[in-house]
Amino acid sequence: MDARGIEILEATEDIYGGVEVDMKEKKMDSNSFATLLRASMQLWKQQGKKGVWLKLPIELSYLVDVAKKEGFVYHHAEETYIMMVYWIPKTPSTLPANASHQVGIGAFVINDEGEMLVVQEKQGKFGGTGLWKMPTGVVKEGEDICDGAVREVKEETGIDAEFVEFLAFRQNHKVLFSKSDLFFVCKLKPLSSTITKQDTEIENAKWMKIEEYMEQPFVKDSESFGSVAEICNMAARTDGAYSGFIANPKTKKRSGAKSYLYCNKIR
């Protein structure tokens, strides 16, 4: 209820002058919701609120159309919910954009004998091409990139490894619908040697001399593969011809969360 005795939607305020409505575990028919939403919007407009966030669980998918009719647009969605939003002021919206990137890793796992861990993939762009490539994968929600590299190597090949450094990274656009991709080439040190390959995605996995990897026509002829291979080749040398960004011990932020700062080793 608001001060006028009119029932409104339960909402929390954010630090940017906005309100957030989470409809989780609330059941409501379309008509009741429309009435409540209209009364709530009227109040929030009077109060000079800015952004109104409306989170609808997929169980309430029949309310999406109601909110759209009231002027809400989509902001983002995950499997189980959609976030809709309404920007009240006449000035341009300062609402944060949706996530724009996925983050991928390529794992350059090199042993003391100058052999790197390579796989042949069953599916996707390289499926059936015979190309031996480094294990690659996508970093999971909430996962540190260096941990993602270690996990992917373990999943695809059964090899235990530890993160050493980021050798390079590349940004590609329009990789996933309209989204971009940040691909980090990570050097890892293997802690085991016996390969147990994953069956659904990986056709073959083995240790291969880095020279042999580089001699593959696909690697030699591709600007983007070739330049990464050159860097890996230098990073494999024992004379320290190339090294990249290391993961410094996690430091604490004001929020209490801890995170890695990645940068060159400071001498």
Of 20, 59, 143, 155, which is the active-site residue? 155
Site residues (CB under 8 A) for its own copies, limited to 128-147? 138-142, 144-145
86: Cβ–Cβ under 8 A, 6 or more apart, which residues? Answer: 41, 51, 52, 54, 70, 71, 72, 73
191 makes contact with its own copies (CB under 8 A): no
244: Cβ–Cβ under 8 A, 6 or more apart, which residues? Answer: 165, 166, 167, 168, 187, 235, 264
> Among 177, 199, 239, 240, which residue interacts with its own copies (rule: CB under 8 A)?
177
> Among 45, 173, 209, 237, which residue interacts with its own copies (rule: CB under 8 A)?
173
User: Which helix or strand (DSSP H or E) is residue 146 part of?
Assistant: helix 145-157
Site residues (CB under 8 A) for its own copies, limited to 25-54? none
Which lies closer to its own copies via its Cβ, residue 3 or residue 257?
Answer: 257
Amino acid identity of residue 19, one-letter, is V
Which lies closer to its own copies via its Cβ, residue 2 or residue 218?
Answer: 218
142: Cβ–Cβ under 8 A, 6 or more apart, which residues? Answer: none
> Among 33, 44, 132, 169, which residue interacts with its own copies (rule: CB under 8 A)?
169
Q: Which residue has the tokens 């996925």?
A: 102
Which lies closer to its own copies via its Cβ, residue 43 or residue 145?
Answer: 145
Q: How far is CA 225 from CA 45, 107, 182, 215, in A?
A: 54, 13, 15, 12
239 makes contact with its own copies (CB under 8 A): no
155 catalytic residue (yes or no): yes
Minimum CB separation from its own copies for residue 5, in Å? 32
Q: Would you give the binding string for its own copies spanning residues 193-232, x where CB under 8 A is met?
A: -------xx--------------------xxx--xx--x-
Minimum CB separation from its own copies for residue 4, in Å? 30
Contact 84, 41 (CB under 8 A): no
What is the rounded CA–CA span in Å between residue 163 and residue 153? Answer: 11
Give how many residues touch its own copies by CB under 8 A: 78
Which lies closer to its own copies via its Cβ, residue 190 or residue 244?
Answer: 244
Cα dihedral 88, 89, 91, 92, rounded to 10, equals -20
Minimum CB separation from its own copies for residue 101, in Å? 4
Contact 205, 107 (CB under 8 A): no
Q: What is the CA radius of gyration of the chain?
A: 25
Q: Would you give the binding string for its own copies spanning residues 56-95, x where CB under 8 A is met?
A: --x--xx-xx--x----xxxxxxxxxxx-------x--x-
240 makes contact with its own copies (CB under 8 A): no
Minimum CB separation from its own copies for residue 201, in Å? 8
By CB atoms closer than 10 A (0-12, 13-18, 19+), residue 4 is exposed
Return the active site residues. 155
